[in-house]
Amino acid sequence: MSTYDDFKCTGRCEECGRCNGINKILKADNRKTRMMYFPDDFVTESGGEGLGAAFDIGTTTVVGMLWDLKTGRMMDILAETNPQNKYGADVISRITYCGRSEEKLAELSGLIRSKMDEMLDIMCTRKAQEQTDGRQISRSEIRRITVCGNTTMSHLAGGYDPMSLALVPFTPAYEGELVLQASDMKITAAPGCTVTIIPNLAGHVGGDINAGIVASRLLDQKELTLFIDIGTNGEMALTDGERTLVCSTAAGPAFEGACISQGMRASTGAIEKVEISGSDVTLSTIDNGAPVGICGSGLISAVSEMLRNGVIDATGRMDKKHPRVRLIEGKPVFILAEKPNGDPVGLTQKDIREVQLAKGAMQAGAAIMLKILGRKPEEIRKVMLAGAFGNFIDREAASRIGLLPRIPLERIEPVGNTAGAGISMVLMNREEAALARGMASHVEHVELAAWPEFDMEYMNAMSFA
């Protein structure tokens, strides 16, 4: 898989063609829009007409991509906050809100459909304003739309009650691919435009992982390879070249800044890297802004440095005697910085525990899949890190705390927004669409809760040792 940082963009797409025009229009204002990589063997089909759109619907962020189906070039890309977030930062909160209520289901479905419609309007409008060749860009040219998301987001986008996903045995309300009419979803597009929501793979292994497997070419790997998408749900796939296992872990929203006392999304002023030397702390913040909180990558970096410097021990217990540990309302807080108003930005003991719970779930899930294949962590030849968080964390820090396998760092490879890349590949190539449609037949789902060893693995994995 090539990354588009491997060469300098000349802006002369007619002479190059290596990035399908992506480098010319990727925006620098959102991290998810800067990580679109296609595998080297991917080609778009010729003969298409009009425009197509692909959506990666995340619990936190929705990414939309507008494509020219004739040339196979990206026209625009846009990332927006999922409007459902006012009903909770995680999928369980949104499932609970629905509560088998048709009215509330319609409300949440309507929110995401309206957001998709709004994003298409923004992209088409601003692209039309940029045109200098006389071509008219309008939504009436959008002939097909493809969508991926985790299982809850796929259910809500498709109008299906997600309640069964919160109840054992976590059976989805539907199986396979959904093909809907854009007009029925109140999305303005060409007459007859279809919206295809690609299949989920299991109760909590969604279409985003399906798209990720397509884009990463995981099924083509011959050596032991672990694919990880770290988000609100920690989803993983493991292949040994013969069998491919998938699972989902309840990592929780800690890595996206939720449930952390000073947590925030990856935006201006968020602490993204921490270095500790004795009582001195050196910080890096997004856009070099004044520190106002800490995002997921900064959280991993800070906890790793606290562990390395003995501020916390292997159990996660904080050293209250450390010069940067201050008692606030009777509870120890490790002070990282001060906000412009003088308030401290720090990590509490509870924040450390949240990291232990989240990373423990991921570590235990990987351990169970390795046991099924009869392999050991040190045998992993490649780790593919997908998603925004996975591509911005410090690999060494993540390995130190056990979030990633403790293997040589050169075996750990960021692979970008594979969900966005994969769902775009499905949009523009029928063979890729067929692969995604039949993906469930290529993988084996591991229901971690059904494994007696999981609880013990989870307990052990919460240690930083």
Q: Which residue has the tokens 């390395």?
A: 308
pLDDT, tens only, 278-319: 999 999 999 999 999 999 899 999 999 999 999 999 999 999
User: What residues have CB less than 8 Å from 213, skipping those under 6 apart?
Assistant: 219, 227, 237, 244, 422, 439, 443
Question: What is the residue type of 366?
Answer: A
Read off the tokens for 393: 């964390």
Report the C-alpha gap between 45 and 34 in whole angstroms.
Answer: 24
The pLDDT of residue 392: 81
CA angle 11, 16, 22 (to 5 degrees): 55
What is the distance between the alpha carbons of residues 358 and 405, in angstroms, rounded to a whole number?
15
Where do the structural domains in the chain lie, given as residue ranges? 19-209
The overall average pLDDT reported for the chain is 88
Return the pLDDT at 4.
33
Is the pLDDT higher at 288 or at 134? Answer: 288
Fold of 19-209: Nucleotidyltransferase; domain 5 (3.30.420)
Smallest Cα–Cα separation from 405: which of 269, 262, 251, 238?
238
What backbone phi and psi angles, to 5 degrees, belong to 336? -95, -40
Across the range 244-272, mean pLDDT stands at 84
Read off the pLDDT of each residue in 328-339 and give the average, rounded to a whole number. 92
- Two tokens at 112? 């995401």
The residue behind tokens 């083509």 is: 220
Contact between residue 199 and residue 440 where contact means Cβ atoms under 8 Å apart: yes
Q: Which of 4-8, 170-174, 281-285 has the lowest mean pLDDT?
A: 4-8
Q: Which residue has the tokens 């109008």?
A: 159
pLDDT at 132: 56
What single letter denotes the amino acid at residue 450?
A
Could you give the residue ranges of the DSSP H alpha helices within 78-180?
A: 91-98, 102-130, 151-158
Q: Is 284 exposed, middle or buried (0-12, 13-18, 19+ CB in 10 A)?
A: middle
* Helices marked H in 246-334: 296-308
Instruction: Say which range, 10-14, 214-218, 231-235, 347-351, has the weakest mean pLDDT.
Output: 10-14
Give SS3 for 246.
strand
State residue 11's pLDDT score. 43
Q: Can you tell me the mean pLDDT for 436-454?
A: 93
What is the per-residue pLDDT across 193-237, written as a single tens digit (0 to 9) for each? 999 999 999 988 999 999 999 999 999 999 999 999 987 678 999
Band of the pLDDT at 134, cuts 50, 70, 90? low
Is the pLDDT reported for residue 14 higher than 50?
Answer: no
Q: What is the reported pTM?
A: 0.88
What confidence category does residue 55 fall into, taking pLDDT thresholds of 50, 70 and 90? Answer: very high
CB 360 within 8 A of CB 368: no
Reported as type and span, the H/E element at residue 461 is: helix 453-461
